[in-house]
């Protein structure tokens, strides 16, 4: 049996048509889930107060900026979050009260509230701020 020269071309076009038809019938991929917005301070405090998973936890870490490395310990308790630094000794204490919160700093034997004017100040030369 002899096939005309255009028959292979027709078969190729037919198979491409079937493939594109099958591709067109596939569902479009779902849109990516919406990116959650970052929680505000009140939401963070509420999450910490509500979470018992963070109760009585101490985590060690290092803050870095350029060549600067600042080791610290963060203590997560039911009623507060505390950042502790050495050399010199400094504690930044966020008291999570039922009717608000209070940010305090303990240095050289003094335990005082952190004034709001210092909230944007970098801690120990890093990008971590009191805010």
pLDDT value of residue 124? 93
pLDDT in tens, 68-127: 999 999 998 878 889 999 999 999 999 887 778 899 999 988 999 999 999 999 999 999
Q: Closest Cα partner for 102 from 119, 90, 114?
A: 114
pLDDT in tens, 26-57: 555 666 666 667 777 777 777 766 665 556 77
**pLDDT confidence band for 7 (50 / 70 / 90):** very low
More confident residue, 72 or 13: 72
Please state the φ and ψ torsions of residue 77, each to the nearest 5 degrees. -120, 170
CA distance readout (Å), 75 to 7, 65, 82, 121: 77, 22, 5, 21
Q: Would you say 90 and 74 are in contact if contact means Cβ atoms under 8 Å apart?
A: no
pLDDT in tens, 59-77: 899 999 999 999 999 998 8
State the SS3 of the chain. Answer: CCCCCCHHHHHHHHHHHHHHHHHHHCCCCCCCCCCCCCCCHHHHHHHHHHCCCCCCEEEEEEEEECCEEEEEEEEECCCEEEEEECCCCEEEEEEEECCEEEEEEEECCEEEECCHHHCCCECCCCCCECC
């Amino acid at each position: 049996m002899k096939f005309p020269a255009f028959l292979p071309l027709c078969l190729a076009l037919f198979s491409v048509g079937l493939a594109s038809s099958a591709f067109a019938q596939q569902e479009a991929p779902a849109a990516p889930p919406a990116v959650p917005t970052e929680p505000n301070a009140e939401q963070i405090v509420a999450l910490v107060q509500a979470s018992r998973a963070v109760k009585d936890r101490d985590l060690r870490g290092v803050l870095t900026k350029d060549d600067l490395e600042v080791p610290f310990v963060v203590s997560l308790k039911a009623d507060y979050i505390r950042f502790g630094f050495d050399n010199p000794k400094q504690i930044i204490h966020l008291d999570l009260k039922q009717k608000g919160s209070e940010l305090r700093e303990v240095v050289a034997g003094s335990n005082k509230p952190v004034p709001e004017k210092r909230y944007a100040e970098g801690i120990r030369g890093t990008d971590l701020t009191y805010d």
